[in-house]
Amino acid sequence: MLSRSFKSLVQIQRPVLMAGQSSMIRSFSSDHRLSEKEVTDRILEVISKYDKCAGKSVSPSDTFKELELDSLDSADILVAVEEEFGIEIPDEEVDRITSVKDTISYIRKTPTAK
Amino acid sequence: MSNRCIKILGIGNDIVKISRFTVNSENERFLKRAFHPVEIEKFKELKLQSQQNALQYLAGRWAAKESVYKAFKGIERAKLNFQNIRILSNSDGSPYVDLIENSLDLSKQLNVTDIHISISHDTDYAIANKSISIS
């Protein structure tokens, strides 16, 4: 009886896909890319909120050095960017990101960024 | 007196305000990005006793890693990930550098023989100095 109840529970929870639905799901996930404008706006907002950038005008062409950010600031900001987009940037990539533009490019080429 | 000739690859130093680790040290993602699991464990152990001592420890380790990077002079950061520059302690409490993975590979390529390190703290700041010797 117990095994029958468990079986029915599994059957209830399993999604039932009609013909055509599965392809809709696939195409949604493969086409889901954030626009350059959205990525830029969100990154600029994250950086502008950082203490050391308060009151500064942050532009997409700024390097972290131009914003007077040191290595610890960069680490803090990139952790905030990871949290904003729900991703994890590999360590070797993090060490190559030294500007707002690099950050935007990395997020743009990361399909899992949301 | 020894006639041994020591070549210095580079020297590096760094200073950091200890309070800069107050917020980010609560973030596991930040800790894993910058520190080796052994260092994180030690930080958490110290934190149970004293928040100030724990932050001082973390700031000293960060300054030490940054000064190692500077002493390697112009090497791209991707070859010197901070988790792979471990700052450990001898039984007498003195710090030493233990390079692992890509940082160790780099030191071998450059024939590094010794890394000398010193870390100090004073209330608000932590400072570290390094010199790297090669054969």
Q: Give me the CATH number covering residue A92.
A: 1.10.1200.10
Q: What 8-state DSSP symbol labels residue A99?
A: B
CB contact, 8 Å: A79 with chain B? Answer: yes
3-state helix, strand, coil in chain B (%, to 5): 45, 30, 20
**Is residue A78 in a domain?**
yes
Cβ-nearest to B83 among A71, A78, A91: A91
Overall number of domains in chain A: 1
Crossing angle between the packed helical segments A36-49 and A71-85, to the nearest 10 degrees = 130
The per-residue pLDDT for B3 is: 63
Catalytic residue among B36, B42, B65, B121: B121
Q: What is the ipTM of this complex?
A: 0.89
Q: Does the pLDDT at position A23 exceed 60?
A: no
Just give the CATH number of B7-134.
Answer: 3.90.470.20
Give the residue extent of every domain in chain B.
Answer: 7-134
Over residues B99-117, the pLDDT tens digits come to 999 999 999 999 999 999 9
Domain containing residue A48: 36-108
Please check whether residue A24 lies inside any domain of the structure: no
Of B89, B91, B109, nearest to B132 (Cα)? Answer: B109
Give domain status of residue A12, yes or no: no
SS3 content of chain A, % helix, strand, coil (to 5): 60, 0, 40
Would A44 be classed as within a structural domain? Answer: yes
Per-chain mean pLDDT for chain B: 94
Measured CA angle at A33 (ends A57, A83), to 5 deg: 55
Local structure of B8: helix, strand or coil: strand
Closest CA to B67 of B134, B123, B125, B16: B16
Residue A25, pLDDT > 70, answer no
pLDDT tens for chain B, 135 residues long, are 556 678 999 999 999 999 999 999 999 999 999 999 999 999 999 999 999 999 999 999 999 999 999 999 989 888 899 999 999 999 999 999 999 999 999 999 999 999 999 999 999 999 999 999 998
User: Which among B36, B70, B79, B116 is annotated as catalytic?
Assistant: B70
